Structure 1
Amino acid sequence: MTDTDNLWVLEKKFWTEGADGVHHLTAKGALAVLPYPAGILVDEAIWRDNAVAQRWRTVAFTEPVITLKGDVAVLAYHVSAERAEVPIYEALCTSTYLRDEDEWFRLSHQQTPTAEQD
């Protein structure tokens, strides 16, 4: 599997697996910028927030773009995510990954909703 393929697989895991499945794939000091009320979350606060703790049943990435520069990768995409009893969530997202000893760790993640969310 190429780095590009591996990174997209990792990104999908962050949406669909629980914290136990991806926590170890997060860099120390990582940050997430999520829609209100979550806001800016750093390090362990990412995993304590309800917006992060809830997993999505299905996700679809469109408009995927990836930039690789040495040991840094930036992914950008549009996501459509679904979970029970919640309207489909649409957002533009970016995630930055850092390679450390041939393993990728997510350093940052940002979401900008494309429409007002309920």
Structure 2
Amino acid sequence: MADELWREEREFWLAGVAEAARKLDGSCLMAFASKGIMNRAAVVAALQSAPRWQEVTLADRASIETDEVCVLAYHATARRAGADTYRALCTTTWIRRAGDWRILQHQQTPV
């Protein structure tokens, strides 16, 4: 299961807005140093106005999982066109809802 979610996690960084939004649980919360705590609606709005990442590497990966929840922790290195390389320590909590995996929580701490 974790291998599938590592692919989903990478895809979340790189996917278009509609695909990224589809992965978010209705009660999703995200925390960013630059934007604070955001609910699902705020995350979707931010995705619509921000350029998407062109590449991302997920290193130092760790995970814990149950049948219904999986927490991913990693060091992300990401790039956008015309911007400096972004590096952050991240956690994402995925939850299984009606058989589909959705992002319940995501947090980034820039390093």
Which residue of 39, 54, 57 maps to 2:51?
54
Taking structure 2 as the reference length, what is the TM-score of the superposition? 0.92
Taking structure 1 as the reference length, what is the TM-score of the superposition? 0.87
Question: Are positions 1:4 and 2:10 aligned together?
Answer: no
**8 Å contact 1:66–1:74 — kept in the other structure?**
yes
Identity of aligned residues (%): 34
Which residue of 11, 17, 20 maps to 1:19?
17
Structure 1: tracts of 5 or more residues without a match: none
Question: Are positions 1:89 and 2:92 aligned together?
Answer: no
**8 Å contact 2:73–2:89 — kept in the other structure?**
yes
CA RMSD of superposed structures (Å) = 1.6
* Regions of 4+ moved over 6 Å: none
Letter in 2 for 1:20: A
Q: Quote the Cα distance in structure 2 between the aligned partners of 1:97 and 1:54.
A: 24
1:18 is displaced (CA, Å) by 1.8
1:14 is displaced (CA, Å) by 1.3
Question: Are positions 1:65 and 2:66 aligned together?
Answer: no
Length, aligned pairs only: 111
Question: Are positions 1:108 and 2:88 aligned together?
Answer: no
